[in-house]
Amino acid sequence: MSALPTGPRAPELSKTPADPAPPRAAGPPRRRRTGPSRPAVLAAQLGLAVVLVAGWELGARTGVVDPFFFSSPAAVAGRIGKWLGGGEVYGHLLTTLSEAALALVIGGVLGLGIGFLLARARTLAAVLDPYIKVLNALPRVVLAPIFLLWFGLGIWSKVAFGVTLVFFIVFFNTYQGVREVDRVLVDNARMLGAKESQLIRHVLLPSAMSWIFSSLHTSVGFAIVGAVVGEYLGASEGMGYLIAQAEGTFDTTGVFAGMVVLSAVVVVIDLLVNRVERRLLRWQPARERGHA
């Protein structure tokens, strides 16, 4: 945990022109707390990606991996290019994202609301506790076919499925966040004249914020998982549908292309969440930020 500036060997990985590095990088990053230098990590990450993709491509070309089962990066890239160029993928993407967004909003609002309610109403929480545990223990995937039956093949069955995933994450984190709020902060606010609604707004919500945000990352992921799995099981559009279609015709290239597009979108969304989080949590000392 040294607060020293960059160690003598740190620039090795980054190969900046100003600092011609020796040819070989040695060992994993050594500093944990202060963290290794950003460019070095970025370079290593890029390098790893290049190695993996090149290896895959090379394997496919030389026949070490069977392109029928594993496709190849070039083919996948070509397919993505075609999708983006032809515009057919946008509709599917839009469907999936709207389902995920709806699931996120509905599940989030429900989780937040009920989390707050139960954290403040101890008796109610005690009564409902076993039910919540049972519901949460239920493997959610088994619900997907039932939702299909209840809500039809359209977007709402996927939204409902996503909601069951998102709700519990947001709910548990909100509940925890509100329960663990510093007692003295609440007392102080009450002494300064805070009513219950003001207490929520000025003390409980901000205090629960870091919990809620750490859950937001997971929630976004789960909302998309919910949408895709739902589509996969029965739909007429969406990325899950696209992937299922490709699988149906043993089109591994299509499957991989779908996965890549989805991952890229999730990464972009996660970056946006990070941004929002940094804005809203700027009062936290940098070290505490982004726990969990």
Partner 1 sequence: MGDGDDGAAMELRGVTMTYQGAEGDYTAVREVDLAVAPGRFVSVVGPTGCGKSTVLNAVAGLREPSAGQVLIGGEPLQGLNRRAGYMFQQDALLPWKTVVQNVAFGLELSGVDKAERLERAREWVHRVGLAGFENAYPHQLSGGMRKRTAVAQTWIGDPDILLMDEPFGALDVQTRQVMENELLSLWTDSGKTVLFVTHDLEEAVSLSDEVVLLSAGPGSRIVGRYPVELPRPRDLLDIRTTPRFTELYGAIWADLRNEVMRTYERASHGTAGAGAVQDAG
Can you give the binding site for partner 1, defined by CB under 8 A? Answer: 184-185, 187-195, 198, 202-203, 206-207, 209, 283-285
Nearer to partner 1, 66 or 182 (CB): 182
Residue 20 carries which DSSP code?
P
Q: Quote the least distance from Cβ 205 to partner 1, whole Å.
A: 10
Task: Please identify which residue in the block is written with the tokens 């998309």.
Answer: 224
Q: CA–CA separation, 98 vs 194, rounded Å?
A: 38
Q: Rank residues 132 and 185 by Cβ distance to partner 1 and give the closer one.
A: 185
CB of 120 to partner 1, least distance (A): 17
User: Which of residues 3 and 192 has its CB atom nearest to partner 1 in the complex?
Assistant: 192
Residue-wise DSSP of 230-255: HHHHS-SSSHHHHHHHHHHTT-HHHH
Of 188 and 263, which CB lies nearer to partner 1 in the complex structure?
188
Closest approach of partner 1 to the CB of residue 187, in Å? 6
CB of 125: closest distance to partner 1 in angstroms?
A: 19
Query: Looking at beta carbons only, is 14 or 210 nearer to partner 1?
Result: 210
Give whichever of 82 and 195 is closer to partner 1, judged by the CB atom: 195
Query: Residue 95 CB, nearest distance to partner 1 (Å)?
Result: 38
Least separation in angstroms between CB 185 and partner 1: 6
Q: How far is the CB of 281 from partner 1 (least distance, A)?
A: 8
- Select 44 or 194, whichever has its Cβ closest to partner 1: 194
